[in-house]
Homo-oligomer: A and B are copies of this chain.
Amino acid sequence: MPQLTVRGIPSSLMAVISLPLVEELAILCECGADNFTVDCIETVSVMDGKRVETFPFIEVAWFERGREVRDRFAEAISRHARLAGVTDMEIAFKVYQTDAYYINGKSCSVV
């Protein structure tokens, strides 16, 4: 964690973005870059009776870090994506609780 789950952006593009993006996010979150994961999910989107392109969307799963970090986190993702050609995208943050998050079977609120 933080965990970025991506849809609607090619994984090859996310690979290019990942290097500078995760470096910047790690500084912002004051944690190691190796805590991050970037997982692209294959989706088939439909609308109006037919298949359509998937709208670019990233869900960030993390432990709550407050408004200021969150704003800057979202701004950084959007900026790197825009520089790579993704002009329109949305981001949502999903908060996990530390006592409901387990690393190798041990709760993060105990570790």
Q: Footprint of B on A, CB under 8 Å?
A: 1, 3, 5, 7, 11, 14-16, 18-19, 22, 36-51, 54-55, 57, 61, 67, 70-71, 74-75, 77-79, 82, 88-97, 99-105, 107
Contact = CB atoms under 8 A, between A and B. Distances in A.
A28 B46 CA distance: 20
A61 B92 CA distance: 10
Copies of the chain in the assembly: 3
A47 B36 contact: yes
A47 to B, nearest CB: 5
Contact of A46 (B38, B45, B61, B93): B38
Contact of A102 (B55, B78, B99): B78
